[in-house]
Every structure is written in structure tokens, then in C-alpha cells.
Amino acid sequence: MNISENIKKERKKAGMTQKELAEKLGVYQKDISRWETGERTPSIRNIYRICEVLDIPVNILLK
């Protein structure tokens, strides 16, 4: 798995929609979609914020 697949998997495991995650991160839903499809990669700052919101360790996303 790569980071885009891990973001999607962990978001769904947390029971969140892309829109809900985007609102908690202060980004657009389109950004979440692009991260999950691999079109773009979130910044290191956003990776840490995703982990905080989803309450997971960073290494889960970076596997």
C-alpha cells in the first residue's frame, strides 16, 4: 500500500467522508480526493494533521 491508499483506508475506518476530513483539516474536499487517488501527495504538515484527526500514528500512513 502507498500513502494515498492508506489515507483512504484510515479515513473510512474512522467512518469519515472526504468532506468531513477536509473540514477538520481546513482544506478542500478536492484536496482529499487528490491525495486518495495519488494525483497529489499531502505535505508533511498535512500528513501529521491527518494523523491527529484520525488518531493514528504517522507510520500507519507512511507504510
In the chain the domains, ranked by start, together with CATH numbers, are 3-62 (1.10.260.40)
Per DSSP, 27 falls in state S
pLDDT cut 70: percent of the chain above it: 100
Name the residue with cell 480526493.
33
> Mind listing the pLDDT tens digit for each residue in 3-31?
999 999 999 999 999 999 999 999 999 99
CA distance linking residue 10 with residue 53, whole number of Å: 11
CA distance linking residue 56 with residue 53, whole number of Å: 8
pLDDT, position 42: 96
Please list, residue by residue across 47-63, b when 16 or more beta carbons sit within 10 angstroms of its beta carbon and e when fewer do: bebbbebbeeeeeebee
CA distance linking residue 29 with residue 59, whole number of Å: 24
Q: Is the pLDDT of residue 1 over 80?
A: no
